[in-house]
Every structure is written in C-alpha cells, then in structure tokens.
Structure 1
Amino acid sequence: MYKIGQFSIITGLTVKALRHYHKESLLIPSKVENITGYRMYDKTQIIEARKIKILRDCGFSIKEIKDIFSHSDDLEDIPYYIEEKLASLVKQEMKIRNIKKSLLEETLEKRGVIMSEYQVYEKTAEEELVISTNYVGKYEDCGKYMGTLYKLAKQHSHKKPLNLYFDAEYKEDASIEVCVPVKKKIKVSGEVNLKTLKETKGLATIHIGPYDKVGDAYQAISDYANKLGIELDIPSRETYLKGPGMFFMGNPNKYRTELFIPIKE
C-alpha cells in the first residue's frame, strides 16, 4: 500500500489532483484510514492513475475519462480515444478561428451601417394553411424536418417555408415549429400537423445574409418596438425567401429571410 504522497510521486499526479479524483469517483483509494483520513493506494491502481494522467494531459475532461473507462480498461485502446479527441480539437480550433475572423471583420462602424439598413415595417401576416412538425433541439436541425415536410407536400407546397420560434430567449434546445404552406388540405399522420396559422399583426424586416447573423434583424425590430413603446409577443416567425437548395448551399451572403414578430394584443 502507498500513502497518497508516495502514490503522487510514482504516478506523477499531484496530491490535490488525487483528492479531486477521489471526490469525483474517478480514482478511489483502496483504503481511507478511519482516524487520520489518510488515503492509501495499492499497486494495481498505478496503471489506472497513469492512464488518467495521459488522458488529462491530452485535454480529456473527467466526464470524458469516466466514459472511456466505462467502455474499456485496456491501455492499448487509449491511442484511439486520443485520435478522436484530436479530431474534435481540430474542429474546435477551426470554429474559434472563424469566430476570430468574424470579430476582426465586424468593426463598430460596419455594425452601425448594417443596422441602419434594416427597414422595419408593420405587417399583418395573413391566414395560412400549412403542414408542420414541432421539435425541441438545435436551430440548424430544422432543415431535415423541412425536407420531410416537402416530400409529404409534393406538388401541393405553396409559397415559402417558415419556422415559428416559441422561446422568448436564445436556447440551446429551442422549441421550434417547422412549416410548409400548402394549397389545400392534405392527409397527414404521425408527428405532422395540418393547421391554419391565424392572421396576426406584427413588425417585420428583411435580413440579407447568413442565418447566424439574423440576430441583427431581431435587434432592429426590438429597437423599433422599444422606441415606439410596442410590446412584442411570441412565436416569432422566420420566412425563408431565399436560402439553400436541396443539394447545394449557395452563397449564404445572398440568403433572404423575412423576420416577423407579433405585437402583443
């Protein structure tokens, strides 16, 4: 048996780290003295501790290491997990680089010009017959649901597709209803609804550009509403006037989206 200090030297893990791993139930001592509270480790735990050190040095979280250990306790498997982690880090690096590029390009003057280009107008959204499906999830997942609706609608699809957003804030798991307007009532089943969107009064504007910049349009409408003392409601509505096709994404800078937010009655 090894005291925690000895085990620390053998494994290269600090005493602080060993205490933390004990607390997280990642590396539990073989014995804890009742009176002194000293943690004791045995020889069989050395390999496990060294595996933990390797994975932590590679950037794995405690949660990820627990997941690995629940599936494999073989030292030979670690390189495969490291390869997966590396691929994930490369993807994350690209995401951070894109954010950095976006921030560098987005000067305060440019933002001011963009915001001034939004023309906010009052509008009455007409009654609309649609087929729709609701889901809770990521915003970018709506495309697959829209594709399913178009396959069902076939030649009966009418006008431009739209999404209804039922949250008054940004959420990782958003409550979304994907809608495809149809010319007439068609047969639906399962999670697909046939419904009529009621006539609604609200504020609208046109967003030109990629979907991840549509927050600018929300700001434009919010500023307009605040200035006039108008109270906005949910669900907000995004109608995709021009966007990606079924097979090609096209130029995101030329996407056209009408944002419509209802006025609270």
Structure 2
Amino acid sequence: MYQIGEFSKITRLTIQTLRYYDNEGILTPSYRDQQSGYRFYNDEDFARAEMIIRLKQFDFSIAELKEVLVAIDSGEELQYFLDEKREQLNFEVERKQQLIREIEAQLGDKQDERRQTSYQINELDIPAMLIASVSYQGRYDEVGKHIGQLFKAVKGKAAGPVFICLHDDSYQEAANIEICAPISRELNDSKVTTRVLAGGSAISTMHYGGYDLLQFAYKALFTYIFEHNLIAQIPSREVYHRGPGMFFKGNPNNYQTEVIILVEREGANNNE
C-alpha cells in the first residue's frame, strides 16, 4: 500500500489531482483509514492511474473519463473508445493533428518491451558531500535548460556524476529541483551555490532506459519502503550515470539513472 504522497511520486499526479479524482469517483483509493481519513493506494490503483493518464493525454474530458471507465469496468474494450475519439478529432484536423499522431503512436507503442522487468534494491549509507548546485522551480523535463549553467561553473572539476535533488514530497507541476555536482573544493562563482549536502541511510536502484519509464523505479523503491517498514525522506535523488549530452540526446535505451531515497525506520510524519 502507498500513502498519497508516495503514490503521487509514482504516478506523477499531484496530491491535489489525486484528491480531485477521488471526489469525482475516477480514482478512488483502495483503502481509507476510518479514523484519520488518510488515503492508501495499491497496485490496482496504479494500473488505473496509468490508464487515466493516457486517456487525459488523448484529450478525454472528466465527463468522458467517467463514462469510459464505467464501461471498461463493465467489460468493454478500451480500443473501441479510442477509435471513436480518433474519429471526433478528425473533424478538428488543423487543431488536433498532433493529438491524433500521439494516439496512433500510443496504439502501436512497444512500451512493455522497453520496460525494465525487475529492480534490485540496495540499502546503503550515503556520506555527506560538498556540492555545487543551481536550483529552479518548474517542470521535471526542464533540467536540460538549467544544467549548462552548472557545467560552466564546475568546468570539469566534478568529483562524480551530476544528479538532481527533488525537494518536494509529492509530484508537482512546478517542482523544486536542485541540479548538483559533487566537488572536491568550494567554487568561487556567484551563479552557483556551494554547500554540504547531508547524507544518511538510503535505498537505491538503477534504472536502465529512458526517463519516460522512470516511474517504475520509484514504484519499486516505494514498494520496498512499505514492505520493510521504512519512512521516505526528502530530498530524493536521481543520479545520471549515463544520459543525454549537451547537444545530442543519444539513444535513451542506453541511459542509466540511479534513483536514491533517504529513509528512516521510525519517527516519520504522515504526509496526507
């Protein structure tokens, strides 16, 4: 079972969106504590969230989502609804052409073939480290727009791979992201922050492949946290052992990203 903050990170849906979907009857948590009112989600909720995210990408309204999900729950196939939606979009070709391509690409997507089937979870103690960093508030896919500023300041003096710290306890549309590089000595550059990043007990796993499937690494980690009675702490980290370059993205299937979550065994506050 996942708490709402953990489920938010896994699905990349904000807590506000999850609560809205619950109120609308679109994505109801499998369990709700009767005394506290806290929501808890399971793997079936995750699969339903994935379907909702895909349908939202295809411009299904909330009212349409409700109708489709009720029909699917009754045994109807999603394919019929996707075909009907494509016909509707054909009447708005000029404005909807890009959405039509995305739907057709999704219908032939080979995502399951690219999905990493298992994740090895490691428990480790991370030492404190001296880092240079730049921070911004925005989308997760905007890291590339800001990382150049850090590279210019570090100038090849990094003592390890670049990583990001995610300072929110749930998925956010405008996330608080810190792009970091470990360094051996302080930098004299006003455009970057030099500080000591605290360490601690953590769990980690390596994700092989594109960032579009990175949520499955988070799912594996939060499952491990639940099964071993751990408490997730922030910030979490994504360490880019192998990824896109400054000018060319390369093959995403060859990316290697280590996801690290600091943990405690007791004394955590619930984030509902």
Q: Same fold (TM over 0.5)?
A: yes
Correspondence 1:6-155 to 2 at 5 A: 89-102=96-109, 105-106=111-112, 114-115=116-117, 117-155=118-156
Decide whether aligned partners of structure 1 residues 227 and 183 sit closer, same or farther in structure 2, where only a CA change above 3 A counts.
same
Say whether the 8 Å CA contact 1:136–1:176 is kept in structure 2.
yes
Unpaired runs of at least 5, structure 1 = 1-84
Greater Cα offset, 216-225 or 166-175:
166-175
Q: Distance in 1 between matches of 2:211 and 2:201?
A: 24
Alignment partner, residue 262 of structure 1 = 262
Unaligned runs of 5+ in 2: 1-91, 267-272
The residue matched to 2:156 in structure 1 has which SS? helix
**Structure 2: how far apart are the matches of 1:154 and 1:168?**
32
TM-score (norm. length: structure 2): 0.59
Deviation at 1:133, TM superposition (A): 1.4
Higher Cα Rg: structure 1 or 2?
A: 1
Matched-pair contact (CA < 8 Å) for 1:203–1:221:
yes
Three-state SS of the structure 1 residue aligned to 2:155 is helix
Counterpart of 2:252?
A: 252
CA distance in 2, matches of 1:97, 1:126: 47
CA–CA separation in structure 2 for the residues paired with 1:250 and 1:229:
39
Tell whether the 8 Å contact from 1:206 to 1:259 is kept in structure 2 after alignment: yes
- 2:168 aligned counterpart, secondary structure: coil
Check 1:131–1:97 CA distance in 2 against 1; reply closer, same or farther (3 A cut): farther
Q: CA deviation at 1:180?
A: 1.7
Aligned residue number for residue 18 of structure 1: none
Between the aligned partners of 2:210 and 2:249, the Cα distance in structure 1 is: 11
CA offset digits 1:131-154 (Å, max 9, x no partner): 111111111101121111001111
* Pairwise CA RMSD: 2.4
TM-score normalised by structure 1 residue count:
0.60
1:206 matched residue in structure 2: 206
**CA 1:87–1:263: 2 relative to 1, 3 Å:** farther
Residue 90 of structure 1: how far off its partner (Å): 2.9
Q: Deviations over 1:210-264 (max 9, x none)?
A: 0111100001111111111111111110000000112211110110000000103
Q: Which residue of 1 aligns with 2:176?
A: 175
Residues 200, 194 of structure 1: alpha-carbon distance in 2 compared, 3 angstrom cutoff? same
